[in-house]
Copies of this chain bind each other. A is one copy, B any other.
């Protein structure tokens, strides 16, 4: 005698019958099934009740019990979540994160997964949401690592943007450091020496490594770091405006500015224009992310293109492995991000004159 309850056996039997198409549409009545299978009526009922809860069957009172053909059995319905910390400035409406979500949706759709987005960190509510998800892709920031650990308790997770302190958590990030080195290389190649950096919050890998890339780029190009040329923002458009004000207030304003993201670059460009400076004639600007608007504004923004499609693909592939209980080929992926040169940088004026 097995120790699995009989109603489970009955459940499995019914499921199998559905898969093998022995059972197509309507089940025999509960009483006849009981007789047929040799279990009691109530046992059969319990099994069927569970299957109804699971969505495998549905009932019409006084008519009978039927197989639910709505996908739920033909192909395991899979849904993954995209989690973005709600404390992110303007949340999902921030252009970069909505871009990421869109990329993940597209990638997931290819594999017949659907995606829901959620941002709630309240553990109680989280559980409710998670219970219906097969896996989660989360944008990771240090302040929400606890939440991420919570999620990991419930479903497989892979983290993007920043890697987690806990290295057992799979991650897909981009090479922020070398990306910004490339930016510095490029802008110095145009003759700029006085190069400002508009950094974001340095509470994350992203913040730190983009800044580190800037510093290393200067060093590589034999330019000394000048603390005055570093402005600390918070990635927002408004911060970009403030940053521009700050740089303009300097005795020795930079001729080129590298921004830690596009939104700040946009803010800076707006402010410069307002103050009568032309981008790129007077000031060159480089962004980071390559959000949609970057190429839609005048001048088109030269920026580091975050490979969102690649990020989505890699993250999804890993997640899929985790969901299927397989070992992913790589737990930690770092993708290259390269500069796309558009119209927001010019040769240094004096160089042009020369």
A-side residues, CB < 8 A to B, are 53, 55, 70-72, 77, 79, 81, 86, 90-93, 95, 98-99, 101-102, 105, 109, 114-120, 122-125, 127-129, 131-132, 237, 266-267, 269-270, 273, 292-293, 296-298
Q: A53-B53, A93-B98, A292-B237 are in contact. Are A124 and B72 (CB under 8 A)?
A: yes
The 9 lowest CB-CB distance pairs between A and B, nearest first, are A71-B124, A93-B102, A114-B120, A117-B117, A98-B98, A93-B98, A70-B124, A116-B118, A116-B116
What chain B residues lie within 8 Å of A53 (beta carbons)?
53
Residue of B nearest to A240 (CB): B296
Query: Is the Cβ of A123 less than 8 Å from the Cβ of B70?
Result: yes
Give 15 A-B pairs besides A70-B124, A86-B109 with Cβ atoms closer than 8 angstroms.
Answer: A71-B122, A72-B128, A77-B124, A77-B128, A79-B128, A79-B129, A86-B105, A93-B101, A95-B98, A115-B119, A116-B117, A116-B118, A266-B297, A270-B296, A293-B293
- C-alpha spacing A297/B262, complex, angstroms: 12
- C-alpha spacing A123/B95, complex, angstroms: 29
What chain B residues lie within 8 Å of A266 (beta carbons)?
293, 296-297
Query: Is the Cβ of A267 less than 8 Å from the Cβ of B292?
Result: no
User: A32 → chain B, closest Cβ, in Å?
Assistant: 23
Residue of B nearest to A132 (CB): B132
Q: 18 interchain pairs (CB within 8 A)? A: A55-B127, A70-B123, A71-B122, A71-B123, A77-B128, A79-B128, A90-B292, A92-B92, A93-B95, A115-B118, A116-B117, A128-B132, A131-B132, A237-B292, A237-B296, A266-B296, A293-B293, A298-B298
Query: Is the Cβ of A114 less than 8 Å from the Cβ of B122?
Result: yes
What chain B residues lie within 8 Å of A267 (beta carbons)?
296
Query: Is the Cβ of B105 less than 8 Å from the Cβ of A119?
Result: yes
- C-alpha spacing A267/B292, complex, angstroms: 11
The 8 Å CB contact of A129, one of B114, B273, B298, is: B114
What chain B residues lie within 8 Å of A105 (beta carbons)?
86, 91-92, 119
What chain B residues lie within 8 Å of A92 (beta carbons)?
92, 98, 101-102, 105, 117
What chain B residues lie within 8 Å of A91 (beta carbons)?
102, 105
Residue of B nearest to A130 (CB): B132
- C-alpha spacing A102/B86, complex, angstroms: 10
Residue of B nearest to A300 (CB): B270
- C-alpha spacing A123/B74, complex, angstroms: 13
What chain B residues lie within 8 Å of A71 (beta carbons)?
122-125
What chain B residues lie within 8 Å of A269 (beta carbons)?
298
User: A54 → chain B, closest Cβ, in Å?
Assistant: 11
What chain B residues lie within 8 Å of A273 (beta carbons)?
298
Residue of B nearest to A131 (CB): B132
User: A235 → chain B, closest Cβ, in Å?
Assistant: 14
Residue of B nearest to A75 (CB): B124
- C-alpha spacing A225/B118, complex, angstroms: 46
- C-alpha spacing A86/B109, complex, angstroms: 10
- C-alpha spacing A273/B297, complex, angstroms: 10
Between A77, A79, A92, A123, the greatest number of chain B beta carbons within 10 A of the residue's beta carbon is seen for A92
User: A281 → chain B, closest Cβ, in Å?
Assistant: 13
Query: Is the Cβ of B127 less than 8 Å from the Cβ of A119?
Result: no
